[in-house]
Amino acid sequence: MSPTVDVPSIVVRLQDGVIDVTAETRFLSEGRGDVGAIVTFTGLCRDEKGTLSGLELEHFPGMAEAEIARIAGEAAGRWPLLGIVAIHRYGLVAPGEVIVLVAVASSHRQAAFAGAEFIMDFLKSRAPFWKKEHRADGREGQWVDAKDSDEAALSRW
Amino acid sequence: MKIVYFAWLRERVGVPEEVIALPENVRTVGEVITHLSGLGENYAYAFERPSVIRAALDRKHVPLETPLGEARELALFPPMTGG
């Protein structure tokens, strides 16, 4: 890992098990004194008033990691970031579990807030993942529809 | 050409991937979709609303009017819903 400040450490990972938010976030500040802000976003699986037993996350192996890394790299080029951790689940995710973690470190909070929001906005519409509902009553679930507002969110960047 | 499908597109087509011999006059991603639509009921159903389909050539997002060029793999999928 490069010690220079203009090359942030970027970790991108997909996993089928539970995301340990505390451990993953600790990586951003461990052993260094220059980090003044870490913004952490966690996206969780909802049960939609008890109707869902979980969400199945399908992804495009290879492209999914590459797209998230590309988006993280773009954020690193726009703001003075010191580190980025982006981890996404695939497979079956239960209500209350974390689907995605994006944690961004910088010296001052503005860059970390902006970087985290930028990464999430693009990840939602550009990283190849698709959610299918698993219904609590056992019937066949629906594929989740993309929201127009997610696509529209990109235009502000 | 190798074509891979995801999510409800994969379910409707019935296979996750396949190799399709494309006629000479099929040159763009959109033309592949039009060609596939004519291959059977499952394809017609999968591609009934071509404008919602998203595509990646060799794992890079591309608009539907993009020429296939030298690409080896075309991925077709619905709008993404990760995060």
> For chain B, which domains are there?
2-77 (3.10.20.30)
Chain B nearest C-alpha distance from A108 (Å): 25
Q: For strand A98-106 and strand A37-44, is the pairing parallel, antiparallel, or unpaired? A: antiparallel
Q: What is the mean pLDDT of chain A?
A: 94
pLDDT tens digit string along B47-78? 999 999 999 999 999 999 999 999 999 999 99
The ipTM, to two decimals, is: 0.96
The CATH number of A9-138 is 3.90.1170.40
Euclidean distance between the first and the last CA atom of chain A, given in angstroms as a whole number: 29
Q: Where are the domains of chain A?
A: 9-138
Q: Smallest Cβ distance to B8: which of A63, A100, A143?
A: A143
Report chain A residues whose CB lies below 8 A from the CB of B75: 60, 63, 128
Task: Quote the pTM value.
Answer: 0.94
**Residue A152 — very low, low, confident or very high, per pLDDT cuts 50/70/90?**
confident
The mean per-residue pLDDT over the stretch A55-83 comes to 97
Give the nearest partner residue to B81 out of A60, A67, A144, using CB atoms: A144
Comparing CA positions, the residue from A80, A73, A130, A78 lying closest to residue A105 is A80
d(CA B79, CA B7): 10
Gap between the Cα atoms of A35 and A41, Å rounded: 17
* Closest Cβ opposite residue B59 in set A66, A99, A100: A66
* Contact criterion met (CB below 8 Å) for B1 and B22: yes
Nearest CA to A79 out of A12, A27, A8, A11 is that of: A8
